[in-house]
Structure 1
Amino acid sequence: MCTLEKRGSIFLLTLTGADEHRLNPTLMDAILTALSRVRSESKGVPASALVMTAEGKFFCNGLDLPWAKAAGPVGFHERMRLIGSKFKALSTDLLSLPMPTIAAISGHASAGGFILALCHDYILMRKDRGILYLNELDISFPIPRHYMALIRSKVVLPAGRRDTVLRAVKLRAEEALAKGIIDSAHGTVEETIDAAVRLGEELAGKKWNGEVYAQMRKTLHSEVWDAFEAEDSMSIENDIKGIASRL
């Protein structure tokens, strides 16, 4: 599912295997366990940074809708509620981690996989393969308000927000860089991960207080936290019912 490796001041979290790394409860629990280790092992050390990447063709292909659909019409609702709860927990865990966080996009990152990347402070991406793609419009899957707040906060250029959300464009690294969605583009996956580790080492080298860093991140993106806290369970339930009727 995933591995966690410590390289000096860097925690390297890798989604393992050649599958699509779809976000089902099993994978998300594995990531949450790894992040819990990161929090624990970073206590008492001068400073750290997290790099998340993945093996194979995909960085992450979003929420595991096939797993939810496999339960049938009745089970679909329960599985979607579980996926939504786990994904919110994973998102808030990343957004509150007391250190700089970097996503090294190793392949395709679509839907929830794109949002997972946006939960990091920095996004680096390979140029030779892979796309960023919010495909919710194409599959009639409305993006919840709290994740729309995250997109507004992280995708700063209006044209970038419009094209990703309302045109569902597929962006390669250089296009995503031009739209201000990622921070840098690199030739290969190895170069991307190496650059992410170097950036992490540079940031960790500042020896900032991790708790202060996390608090300042929360204040910087306060509208995201407000939206997460104001999440309307009834609205989400209606979204699930609407999704089920269209699948």
Structure 2
Amino acid sequence: MCTLEKRGNIFFLTLTGTDEHRLNPNLIDSIRAALHTVRSEVTSSSSSALITTAQGKFFSNGYDLKWALVDKGARLQLISKKFRSLVSDLINLPVPTIAAITGHASAAGFVFALCHDYIMMRKDRGFLYMSDLDIGFQIPIWFSPLLKCKVGSPAVWREVVLKATKLTGDMAVERGIVDSAYDGVEETVEAAVKLGEELVRRKWDGKVYAGCRKTLYVELLNKLGTDETVGDYGDDEPNKKTLSKL
């Protein structure tokens, strides 16, 4: 699942193991529990930051569709509901957040990374990939305000969503999706720690920080509570096509 460790004023949330870190109810609940711990330990008299990273080849390969698509929608809607709650937790978290992407981040895994304030990525391996189009899966409506908040160019929105381009670290930096890219895992995490320490030294009020973030993402937050536009709800055939590509 995941672990949470605190080193000084920086929390490290790590997706553990060597699997694809696909987002299912168990993993999402584990991440949310870690964020709840961060929230409970942050006080008005201390400044902190959160770094999220992952072990193995993947940062996250998106929803656990093999588990979700066996019942024509109910499981997928459960994952969607829990994931939207996780996104809300991140946006409301009273500390700066940094994603240190040391492997592939696809579909909802890409979105999970985008929900952090800063993104750092290794450039020697791994890519960002909105795979939905390639696997025959329509993206949920609430992805749109997030992409528009995080990615400044309509040309890049098109490249990410309508061309399903696999973006390396350098490509993602060039397109303004990732803040910086590094030669390997250690360099990426070290850069995230350096940034985290710089942010901690600013000694911002966490409640104010979270409030500013919520203002930036108000359109996204308004969509999170009710949007269930996820997956295929017709006959079984689209789901079979999707499963065949996983």
| 1:122 partnered with 2:118 | yes
1:14 alignment counterpart: 14
Q: Secondary structure at the match of 2:221?
A: helix
Q: Which residue identity does 1:106 align to in structure 2?
A: T
Where does residue 241 of structure 1 map in the other structure? Answer: 233
Q: How many aligned positions are there? A: 239
Q: Which residue of 1 aligns with 2:156?
A: 160
| 1:110-149 matched pairs, under 5 angstroms | 110-149=106-145
Q: Equivalent residue of 2:220, what SS?
A: helix
SS at match of 1:6: strand
Letter in 2 for 1:147: F
Find out whether 1:97 has 2:96 as its counterpart: no
Which residue does 1:174 correspond to in 2? 170
Partner of 2:25: 25
- Corresponding residue for residue 64 of structure 1: 64
1:63–1:111: 8 Å Cα contact kept in structure 2?
yes
2:131 and 2:164 in contact (8 A); partners too: yes
TM-score relative to the length of structure 1: 0.93
Amino acid at match of 1:225: L
Code of the residue aligned with 2:87 in structure 1: it is S
Are residues 244 and 133 of structure 1, via their aligned partners in 2, closer, same or farther at CA, if it must alter by over 3 Å? farther
RMSD over aligned Cα atoms: 1.5
Which protein is richer in helix relative to its size? 1
- Identical residues among aligned pairs (%): 55
Unaligned runs of 5+ in 2: 240-246
Q: Partners in 2 of 1:41 and 1:140 — Cα distance? A: 42
Q: How does 1:78-93 map to 2 (within 5 A)?
A: 78-93=74-89
For the Cα contact (< 8 Å) 2:85–2:224, is it kept in 1? no
Does structure 1 retain, via aligned residues, the 8 Å contact 2:130–2:165? yes
Matches of 1:188 and 1:147, distance apart in 2: 29
**Superposition deviation, residue 242 in structure 1:** 4.2
SS of aligned partner of 1:50: strand
Which residue of the other structure, out of 200, 206, 216, is the alignment partner of 1:204? 200
Q: Which residue of 1 aligns with 2:210?
A: 214
Structure 1 residue runs of 4 or more that deviate by more than 6 Å after TM superposition:
none
Q: Determine the C-alpha separation between the residues in 2 that align with 1:86 and 1:112.
A: 12
Asked if structure 2 preserves the Cα contact closer than 8 Å seen for 1:155 and 1:161, the reply is: yes
| Counterpart-to-counterpart distance in 2, 1:201 and 1:131 | 26
1:3-45 per-residue CA deviation (whole Å, 9 max, x = no partner) reads 1010111000000000000000011111011000000111244
Deviation at 1:181, TM superposition (A): 0.5
Preserved CA contact (<8 Å) 2:123 2:169: yes
Give the whole-Å Cα distance in 1 for the aligned partners of 2:120 and 2:106.
Answer: 15
Aligned to 2:243: none
Contact 1:59 1:109 in 2 (8 A): yes
How far residue 220 of structure 1 moved from its aligned partner, in angstroms, is 1.7
Q: Name the CA distance, whole Å, in 1 between partners of 2:2 and 2:143.
A: 24
SS of alignment partner, residue 120 of structure 1 = coil
Equivalent residue number for residue 227 of structure 1: 223
Residue 37 of structure 1 aligns to which amino acid in structure 2? T
3-state DSSP of counterpart to 1:17: coil
TM-score (norm 2): 0.93
Counterparts of 2:159 and 2:237, CA distance in 1: 26
